[in-house]
A and B are shown apart, each in its own frame.
Chain A
Amino acid sequence: MFDVIVIGGGVIGGTVLRELTKYRLSVCLVEKENDVCMGQSKANSGIVHAGFDAAVGSLKAKFNVDGNKMMPAYAAELGVKYLNNGSLVLAFSKEEMQTLQELKARGESNGVPDLRVIDQATLREKEPNVSENAVGALYAPTGGIVCPYGLTIAAIGNAMDNGAELFTDFEVNEIKKNGSSFAVKSADGREVEGTLVVNCAGLASGKIAALAGDNDVRIGARKGEYILLDRESGNFVSHTLFCTPTKKGKGILVTQTVDNNILLGPTSEEMEKGNTDTSETGLAFIIDKVRGMTKNPPLYNTITSFAGVRAYSDKHDFIIEESKTVKGLIHCAGIESPGLTSAPAIAKYVAEEIVAKILNPQKNETFNGKREKDYFFKDLSTEEKNVIIKKDPSYGKIVCRCEQITEGEIVRAIRENPPAKNIDAVKRRTRAGMGRCQGGFCQPHVAELIARELGIPFEKVTKNGNGSEIVVGVSK
């Protein structure tokens, strides 16, 4: 019997879970996939928004600005990569420059500090690769970038280190309220019981609400496609570039990632249900837009393209509150952009202002929020590397050549909270397979390590859970 059951292992569920372990509460997270962070939080721009975009007075605005302030320390404590690289909203006409003034005013109403509109010369100085046609920009110095899946995984891992339990492959298909507790059942017959349920189920949060008897949460899906460029082009831009929103739409971003790739996108396409296929038209749209925003984008260095899906509520704002119809059910639903930025603030609010006010728990004096720095081995100095290799020679064996990831890091990812059980899980934790050859060399090695560490036959190693086995049988 748990005090709190969190449904959904994305960045919201993960940060909420961690926040709850700061209290003496028994908490667990149930996640329908084979690993955490396989939904919206996986395919995310990773932007820590300044907060000029959200509507004044909305929850999005409030949590965005609070989250933006909290993020540097939050990420540092969890050892997650974060960079305060600044945001630039590009304007290509007089009308757009006027819109920038409106964005600036909106941002100031939301409490965003230090916004200023800059002219063409200043823009060129800041970003030499911006198109000649850009006439100016809104500069938001508090904008940043973070690793969205790194943050999710680290938050959940730290929560587990502080006593939280994780159940994967747990697809909730029944929620029964028995008096003052909930029985949450999975499709494969497992069951957890808890006093409170926090609904962080992303695209499925409407379904989860309905299972519990609350039909007031309606979630829509909007797909976003991306193109990723090799680290070799990592210095193409240093700030995150946005387009001025026009009647035609929001345009795309051009941004560095914390790992020094360049990310282009996302598109925006209404979907009937979650579908993460890329499309010829979507990818063509991105290519067209980036050519308009920048000079000679190094598209020849494309290493992959992918898509994510935004889960938005029909209220077009976050839903962060106890259900009006089902007591004890707490919604964190419709968390589309700026959801990632808002996560630390949402988690704090949910834990302190909702859960703690209901359960009145004591503080957990043994809570340790520090997770070992999410450094990659290659970022260490030679001396530091050699100390580690002497203790554990598996750190002297490079498995992913493109990203220089060692066997030691991969084994650690398989063993450490939350344990990686498949190829993509290892990839998200270590970057093995994220380089220019996209796993061409390292995938067989990683698969072998997973098989060895989990004690399973090679044929049972999957890309991302049941049904995605790497090989189908033994050769003749």
Chain B
Amino acid sequence: MKNSYDIVVIGGGPAGLAAAIAAYDNGVKDVLILEREDGLGGILNQCIHNGFGLTRFKESLSGPEYAARFIDGVKERNIEVCTQTTVLSLTKEKTVTAINAENGVFTLQAKAVVLAMGCRERSRGALNVAGSRPSGIYSAGTAQKYVNIKGYIPGKSVVILGSGDIGLIMARRMTLEGAKVHAVCEIMPYSSGLKRNIAQCLDDFGIPLYLNHTITKIEGEKRVTGVVVSRVDENKKPIKGTEKHFDCDTVLFSVGLIPENELTKSAEIPLSPRTRGAVVYQNRETEARGVFACGNVLQVHDLVDFVSEESELAGKAAADFVQNGESVRNEIEVVNGKNIGYVVPQRLDKNIKGNVKLFFRATNAFRDCTITAKCGNQILMQRKKKIVVPGEMETLILTETKLAESNGTIEVELEEGV
């Protein structure tokens, strides 16, 4: 362990791994990955289902297999790794304070930092779901950890709130482990999960999906004994008289991922309220020079393939920063327009060469869509898509030429049925 490194990568999951490898391959060998778990791989380690890597490797890999491709890459390059190490704080000046058993509390100085801390799950408590607080209530990811990593079943009779990917995957996982999954409830009128997961996790197993429903009460003293589920109105308020009761011993909550930006906040690096991740430029540099962000800590992704792609951008940019120093920016803003929830990156630097891939999500499910990136009244790029849903991240490529032509804020918007 040295006192300083060229690049410190915080997080050894798919984002951190890809960023570290990219930085190395772009000429900066002095890279350190700090990881708080026992080993590398991040959340992929507990995602034993397949479907990872379809875009990137044209194969359907399990989470650990996908991670292994990158872990091998880190090993081959002899990139330094510190596991069981938690970063306690970060400054804008790239001083990293961390703790582990071997070194105690220690400080490192980095020339560049890559933030790759991933997400945490929203809990039942944050939703104020009424009722009792017995054993048997888990966020879907924690249940997944118990089953896939620790080797234990959290329960035998399950109701799930949230039809995002983690909820869907766990509906299948629990069923395969011998549990009865009575229902997946979803407060929105549509599922935010990948279409293939609805088919492969619910339809294939005959698990009913109740859209426009939420759990309004949990029952049970020491252990869950049941839940009350209600239909909701357009304002997401439970409708009296629509209550349905399910006997069960387990409730899984899959109700949202929140990027873990405590360190980002401690460094006073601006976050976007829309993504809850850092505001970044197309090279994933934050407002703090030499600090980059990628993966779920920046925006919650659906596909790890895009995480790797984004993180390679960040890793390469970190290497550029170390080798060439702070560049002069020529910046314009990117904003979300009609029917668009957010766009990443939120800033573009016209001095950075190359095409830009804009990532965004729609605010609702739309059909026959026309997606437009415009600057003032000038249309820069336009794309048509038959179906766009919030649960599937979309992209739009802005060529270098178009970027060079833009002299004001770029807005991305979606029109339906045009």
Contacts and interface: CB of A to CB of B under 8 A. Distances in A.
Interface of A: 227-228, 276-280, 282-283, 302-306, 382, 385-386, 389-390, 393-398, 401-402, 404, 436-441, 443-444, 448, 458-459, 462-476
Contact of A468 (B128, B176, B222): B222
A476 B216 CA distance: 32
B155 to A, nearest CB: 6
Given A389-B101, A444-B145, A438 B135 contact: no
Nearest to B140: A440
25 contacts: A227-B128, A276-B132, A277-B132, A280-B216, A302-B126, A306-B133, A385-B99, A386-B105, A402-B120, A440-B142, A463-B135, A463-B222, A464-B222, A467-B222, A470-B146, A470-B152, A471-B150, A471-B152, A473-B156, A474-B151, A474-B152, A475-B151, A475-B152, A475-B153, A476-B177
A349 B263 CA distance: 49
B414 to A, nearest CB: 26
B379 interface: no
A462 B134 CA distance: 10
A118 B244 CA distance: 52
Given A277-B130, A470-B135, A476-B178, A438 B104 contact: no
Interface of B: 36, 84, 86, 88, 99-105, 120-121, 123-126, 128, 130-135, 138-139, 141-142, 145-156, 176-178, 216-217, 221-223, 238, 249
Given A396-B100, A396-B101, A474 B153 contact: yes
Nearest to A441: B120
A305 B125 contact: yes
A355 to B, nearest CB: 35
Contacts of B150: 444, 448, 458, 471
Contact of A279 (B86, B130, B142): B130
Contacts, number: 147
B86 to A, nearest CB: 4
Contacts of B120: 402, 436-437, 440-441
B86 A401 contact: yes
B125 A396 contact: no
Contact of B223 (A227, A280, A437, A467): A467
A137 B37 CA distance: 50
B232 to A, nearest CB: 13
Contacts of B101: 389, 393-397
Q: Which of A279, A386, A444, A472 has the most CB of B within 10 A?
A: A472
Given A386-B105, A471-B153, A476-B177, A398 B222 contact: no
Q: Which of A302, A395, A470 has the most CB of B within 10 A?
A: A470
B269 to A, nearest CB: 16
A472 B156 contact: yes
Contacts of A469: 135, 223
A341 B148 CA distance: 47
Q: Which of A394, A401, A448 has the most CB of B within 10 A?
A: A401
Contact of A283 (B86, B130, B142): B130
B248 to A, nearest CB: 12
A443 B100 CA distance: 20
Contacts of B153: 471-475
B125 to A, nearest CB: 3
Nearest to A275: B132
Nearest to A378: B88
A397 B130 CA distance: 35
A476 B176 contact: yes
B152 A459 contact: yes
A473 B147 CA distance: 10
Contacts of B103: 396
Nearest to A471: B152
A277 B224 CA distance: 12
Nearest to B107: A382
B134 A468 contact: yes
Contact of A475 (B128, B133, B177, B223): B177
Contacts of B223: 467-469
A440 B121 contact: yes
Given A302-B128, A389-B105, A462 B135 contact: yes
B198 to A, nearest CB: 24
Given A280-B238, A282-B130, A472-B153, 4 more contacts: A304-B123, A396-B102, A472-B152, A475-B148
Contacts of A458: 150, 152
Given A385-B105, A396-B101, A463-B134, A472 B123 contact: no
A437 B121 contact: yes
A401 B178 CA distance: 32
B252 to A, nearest CB: 12
Contacts of B145: 444
Contacts of A385: 99, 104-105
A424 to B, nearest CB: 9
Contacts of A441: 120, 142
B131 A277 contact: yes
Q: Which of B132, B147, B148 has the most CB of A within 10 A?
A: B132
Q: Which of B124, B134, B152, B153 has the most CB of A within 10 A?
A: B152
Contact of A471 (B102, B146, B149, B217): B146
Given A303-B125, A303-B126, A393-B102, A466 B152 contact: no
Q: Which of A276, A397, A459 has the most CB of B within 10 A?
A: A397
A278 B130 contact: yes
Given A306-B133, A444-B142, A470-B154, A438 B100 contact: no
Nearest to A458: B152
B128 A283 contact: yes
Nearest to B119: A437
Contacts of A396: 99-105
Nearest to B219: A277
Nearest to B134: A468
A371 B109 CA distance: 39
A304 B125 CA distance: 4
B147 to A, nearest CB: 5
A389 B85 CA distance: 13
Nearest to A407: B101
A277 to B, nearest CB: 5
Nearest to A286: B128
Contacts of B133: 276, 306
B88 to A, nearest CB: 7
A209 B84 CA distance: 53
A438 B124 contact: yes
B222 A466 contact: yes
Nearest to A408: B101
Contact of B123 (A276, A282, A303, A473): A303
Contacts of B176: 476
A402 B86 CA distance: 11
A258 B380 CA distance: 55
B123 A440 contact: yes
Contacts of B104: 385-386, 389-390, 396
Nearest to B148: A475
A389 B135 CA distance: 33
Contacts of A393: 101-102
A473 B152 CA distance: 6
A376 B84 CA distance: 20
Contact of B154 (A228, A386, A472): A472
A475 B173 CA distance: 10
Contacts of B126: 302-304, 436, 438
Contacts of A303: 123, 125-126
Nearest to A380: B105
Nearest to B176: A476
A250 to B, nearest CB: 22
A394 B102 CA distance: 10
Contacts of A382: 105
Contacts of B84: 397
Nearest to B221: A467
